[in-house]
Structure 1
């Protein structure tokens, strides 16, 4: 009898979107029976988010003129104990990339009696990791005097397609200002902080979500440059599965620098 075994593999277990958006797949079709398989055909069912790259389809190393893989492609015949290797490349679409690409190969063939048989590969799941964390900082005053209060707001947005964990907010305040501890708000919820030494833990930020931090400072002295400069940073971690094994990496993001010009005169109460 004839029996085909189909195995599917890829050249990577996950993809960092924006760094390398290409995946090379391999399909191994082995005849583990004792009779030749004829009229062997293969197609690949792939989820949305990946596009086949024409000119990359090969059968046993020979390039084939194939424009798509979602239809039956003629492979020929496979003798007992022999195998056929098929390879092709796909590219992850740039617009709204998915969180994963799922696909499997389906092979049809005929036995010695002309019966049509079907063999399927295992389902292959490749996570698509898109890390895009942004920070936008604003200040309420372009100019101020010594003794005035200046308000800062920082919008942290996780535009990644996975959550980020252990988010910590940092802000190195200039020596010419003093933080107003009761003014610190996280999503409008008060969080008393006497300083930002050691950062403010924010926990987990889910995919496509944001968090707002605001606080106020009072200007206590005139900066040498007469410019009050300030920016913020965050540190975070994220976890991906590499062949089923969790792998945690670290990341960081920083805001733009906002500037307030400090006037020579002192605010009189």
Structure 2
């Protein structure tokens, strides 16, 4: 019959590193005998891939920090008593193992009782006698736990997006690159890559390559199907596309979204895991750019008090009201006539003192600054040219109590469709 019963467990059947970087071991030692067991030397074999987290050891719920975690000493365990030991470990580095193994070895002393009987011949005047002698001697014993093996899984994906240019214009061909690295020790399947852009992109047929292999007849509208990526493997995805329409006045941006399932995940009725790449931003390269200085004097409403000080000036919209393309007879090229306006508002305050009464109120004046500009463009430009107006600068100053002077610089960028 065993003197001690050892139950050695961990708080996770599978150690998922991405969810928890800490593994907690629990050791329960039962004294199954009717005798006190003394001088327990407990050796917890911590996996080589892990390290003990200082101050995490607890004995029966109380903090207990031994000289060495592998050489714990417990003076005694009373009959039919148990002790509980818990401790935390973490992975030493990022080279995660496939599993961690641990066991417990205990050396202890148990008293052994001996009984002997001797026969005394006696003397002529004493009878014969039997003498019973009892003695107690400690015996060294040892017991071990079963090997505790915890599988380790870690999920780490890397996706990097690159484009071969930093400046783009409509009609230009771009080469897209995605680097997908599965650093996990689990494979991923049903991998689908979606390319998202704030502009209209037309993919070039048969330009898709996955790890250098041409993939033809791919339906880009549903994404790029990659399928299966083994653990510790890298996939390179490249393709080409044409920028057909710009939807932003500032820049073209793209990024990738990866959908996938980890090995062993139940896929039926389950939403896939999602991961986004970095965002690549391309500056717009207008075919033609021109700046125009516009100004206007605005007057306040007569019923409003005099203008004392400008608080702020806002432009919240710039509109192109008319366009007209004219051919030039004296030279090659065309002239684009543009009309537009800047809409906004000016805030100012007005102070007045009447019979020791001081009034300080803020007022708003709406403004509209019209402008016209003619731009010389190449012969191949047409009426469908894309016009990107923007306000580079606007300022306001007080002329007198009734008038405000507004000055602005307007940028006109033209992109040929």
**Length-normalised TM-score, structure 2:** 0.56
Aligned alpha-carbon RMSD (Å): 2.9
Question: How much has 1:119 moved relative to structure 2?
Answer: 1.6
Is residue 176 of structure 1 aligned with residue 175 of structure 2? Answer: no
Asked whether the 8 Å contact 2:197–2:252 carries over to 1, the reply is no
**Length-normalised TM-score, structure 1:** 0.82
- For the structure 1 residues 44 and 139, does the alpha-carbon distance in structure 2 shift closer, same or farther, using more than 3 Å as the test? same
Number of the residue aligned with 1:189:
213
Number of the residue aligned with 1:11:
11
- C-alpha separation in 2, matches of 1:137 and 1:262: 19
Is residue 138 of structure 1 aligned with residue 162 of structure 2? Answer: yes
Is residue 256 of structure 1 aligned with residue 255 of structure 2? Answer: no
Is residue 120 of structure 1 aligned with residue 119 of structure 2? Answer: no
Secondary structure in 2 matching 1:182: coil
- For the structure 1 residues 263 and 65, does the alpha-carbon distance in structure 2 shift closer, same or farther, using more than 3 Å as the test? closer
Number of the residue aligned with 1:30:
30
- For the structure 1 residues 230 and 118, does the alpha-carbon distance in structure 2 shift closer, same or farther, using more than 3 Å as the test? same
- Structure 2: gaps of 5 or more residues: 113-137, 288-379, 382-415
Number of the residue aligned with 1:216:
240
Asked whether the 8 Å contact 1:238–1:249 carries over to 2, the reply is no
Asked whether the 8 Å contact 1:2–1:35 carries over to 2, the reply is no
Mapping of 1:144-183 within 5 angstroms? 144-172=168-196, 176-183=200-207
- For the structure 1 residues 204 and 119, does the alpha-carbon distance in structure 2 shift closer, same or farther, using more than 3 Å as the test? farther
Asked whether the 8 Å contact 1:184–1:193 carries over to 2, the reply is no
Asked whether the 8 Å contact 1:25–1:89 carries over to 2, the reply is yes
Question: How much has 1:162 moved relative to structure 2?
Answer: 2.8
Secondary structure in 2 matching 1:197: helix
Number of the residue aligned with 1:244:
none
Is residue 106 of structure 1 aligned with residue 98 of structure 2? Answer: no
Asked whether the 8 Å contact 1:226–1:263 carries over to 2, the reply is no
Question: How much has 1:196 moved relative to structure 2?
Answer: 2.2
Secondary structure in 2 matching 1:181: coil
- Structure 1: gaps of 5 or more residues: 242-247
Q: How many residue pairs align between the two structures? A: 261
CA deviation digits over 1:85-126, x for unaligned, max 9? 222222333443434332111112233343332222222233
- C-alpha separation in 2, matches of 1:137 and 1:87: 45
Please tell me whether Structure 1 or Structure 2 has the larger radius of gyration of its CA atoms: 2
Question: How much has 1:208 moved relative to structure 2?
Answer: 2.5
Question: How much has 1:256 moved relative to structure 2?
Answer: 1.5
CA deviation digits over 1:157-210, x for unaligned, max 9? 112233223222112356532111200010011112454233333233233321
CA deviation digits over 1:210-243, x for unaligned, max 9? 10100001233444426332111111222579xx
Asked whether the 8 Å contact 1:172–1:196 carries over to 2, the reply is no
Please point out which of 198, 203, 219 is paired with 2:222.
198
- For the structure 1 residues 7 and 137, does the alpha-carbon distance in structure 2 shift closer, same or farther, using more than 3 Å as the test? same
**Counting strand residues as a fraction of each chain, which structure ranks higher?**
2
Question: How much has 1:139 moved relative to structure 2?
Answer: 0.6
